[in-house]
Amino acid sequence: HAGIAGLLNAIQHQTPLTLIIMDNGWTSMTGMQVNPGTDKTFQQPGGRRIDLAQVIPGLGVDQFFVIDPYDLKGATSIIEECLTLPGVKVVLSRRECAIQARRQGRRTRNVRLIPEKCVLCKQCVTATGCPALSIKHESIAIDPALCNGCGLCAAVCPTGALEKEDGT
């Protein structure tokens, strides 16, 4: 959380750097405290949300991108591009905290397994590290209580055996 000074130093000295900021709107590592980027609804009365997407370009970074981490192909493409560009690049990876979304009743759909398409390559488990996925009885199991429907497992599944309940 105190990365602004380091970013300013990198800009000042034109350090070749790709900085990825993971913004879920909360300070989750210490128990879901609000931070300056938390939605205004949760700020103290009279508080104001500070939008990093408005602040960072004004600092003088060479390249600035906002990505959705659930868009695996798009996010990967932008990060790979940044690694080839000179200067200071900032990637703001922005998606609401899944725990907070669930607490507020904004739960996304779950992912479902199509058993006949699954070859048990385990790519969904190993590539994502998702706690909702496990291997039981020689099959992939999805715990619906843990699945937030992000679809990353479906995005990495080479056989199309996983899909969001909305069919994507």
Report how far residue 39's alpha carbon sits from residue 12's, in angstroms, rounded to the nearest whole number. 31
One fold for both 4-103 and 111-164? Answer: no
CATH of domain 111-164: 3.30.70.20
1 against 131, higher pLDDT? 131
How many other C-beta atoms are found inside a 10 Å radius of the C-beta of residue 162?
Answer: 23
pLDDT range class, residue 33, cuts 50, 70, 90: low
Report how far residue 151's alpha carbon sits from residue 153's, in angstroms, rounded to the nearest whole number. 5
Q: Which amino acid is at 135?
A: I
The domain locations on the chain are 4-103, 111-164
| Whole-prediction pTM | 0.75
For range 34-51, the mean pLDDT: 67
pLDDT at 107: 63
Pairing of strands 17-23, 88-94: parallel
Q: What is the pLDDT of residues 111-137, one digit of tens each?
A: 999 999 999 999 999 999 999 999 998
CATH class held by domain 4-103: alpha beta
Q: What is the pLDDT of residues 83-112, one digit of tens each?
A: 999 999 999 998 877 777 777 776 667 899
Average pLDDT over all residues of the chain: 85
For range 33-40, the mean pLDDT: 64
Pairing of strands 139-142, 63-67: unpaired
pLDDT at 165: 79
Q: List the alpha helices (DSSP H) in 68-138.
A: 72-82, 98-103, 123-128
Counting every residue written for the chain, the total comes to 168
